[in-house]
């Protein structure tokens, strides 16, 4: 297994930039890739399947949303080392309930990414 990589998947470049800055401030050596397209992020994961990933995934995105991204992962017949967090602006209880139906998702987080959460995640 390789060194863990963080993937920020959000169609809003500003959100990706802010979250990347928060992560880099706490952990400057962390490798972070930003994607504004869930399809591109999925292609990256599949072409680099041996890397463990921490994924911060938005729900509402054009073309492929966060739910569709998770559905595509579930269709794969390969083992991936993924730690997925839904990071969204949604405060809809239906989204909170739906995320519980995806075993791959570790936690539902509301934007913005909190520094204390990042510290607890990577200081284990």
- Residues 50-107: pLDDT tens digits? 999 999 999 999 999 999 999 999 999 888 999 999 999 988 999 999 999 999 999 9
Fold of 5-122: Rossmann fold (3.40.50)
pTM of the model: 0.94
Residue ranges per structural domain of the chain = 5-122
Query: H or E element: which one contains 108?
Result: strand 105-110
Residues 115/116/121/124 CA torsion (nearest 10 deg): 130
DSSP state, residue 112: S
Cα separation of 124 and 45, whole Å? 24
Cα separation of 9 and 11, whole Å? 7
- Residues 16-44: pLDDT tens digits? 999 999 999 988 999 999 999 999 999 99
């Amino acid at each position: 297994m390789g060194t863990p990589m963080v993937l920020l998947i959000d169609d809003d470049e500003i959100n990706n930039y802010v979250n990347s800055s928060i992560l880099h401030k706490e952990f400057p050596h962390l490798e972070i890739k930003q994607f504004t397209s869930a399809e591109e992020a999925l292609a990256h994961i599949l072409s680099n399947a041996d890397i463990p990933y921490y994924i911060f995934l938005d729900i509402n995105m054009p073309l492929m949303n966060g739910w569709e991204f998770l559905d595509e992962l579930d269709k794969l017949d390969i083992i991936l080392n993924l730690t997925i967090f839904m990071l969204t602006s949604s405060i809809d209880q239906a989204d909170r309930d739906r995320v519980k139906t995806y075993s791959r998702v570790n936690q539902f987080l509301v934007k913005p990414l909190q520094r204390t959460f990042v510290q607890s995640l990577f200081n284990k």
